[in-house]
């Protein structure tokens, strides 16, 4: 019986992995959005396509798009976990 209990035991997830994995996914989304917006962006100040302001604006817009895609899932998961833990405590 002891072997079965040890076999089904779940290893704890390290704090480092819980932080780096979601952060890595967010950065992947940001890079994908930046890569899509980068070549098409123009500087909002001077209007030239090769200006550094265009890259900065593409980076900001990429970050906002990545947050819009990434945050709702994280918030829903956190709410489910919080609500689920209250139900189990009753």
* pLDDT tier for residue 11 given thresholds of 50, 70 and 90: low
Contact 79, 71 (CB under 8 A): no
Q: For residue 88, what are the CA distances in angstroms to 12, 78, 82, 85?
A: 20, 15, 10, 5
Rounded Cα distance between 36 and 31, Å, is: 9
Cβ count within 10 A of residue 34? 19
Q: What is the pLDDT of residue 85?
A: 60
Could you report the per-residue pLDDT of 39-69, keeping only the tens digit for each? 777 777 787 877 778 778 888 888 888 888 8
Torsion of CA 43, 38, 41, 68, to 10 degrees: -100
Average pLDDT of span 18-27: 82
């Amino acid at each position: 019986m002891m072997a079965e209990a040890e076999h089904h035991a779940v290893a704890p997830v390290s704090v480092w992995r819980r932080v780096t994995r979601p952060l890595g996914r967010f950065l992947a989304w940001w890079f994908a959005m930046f890569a899509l917006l980068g070549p098409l962006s123009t500087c909002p100040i001077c209007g030239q396509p090769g200006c550094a302001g265009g890259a900065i604006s593409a980076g900001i817009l990429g970050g906002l798009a990545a947050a819009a895609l990434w945050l709702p899932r994280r918030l829903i998961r956190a709410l489910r976990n919080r609500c689920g833990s209250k139900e189990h405590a009753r």
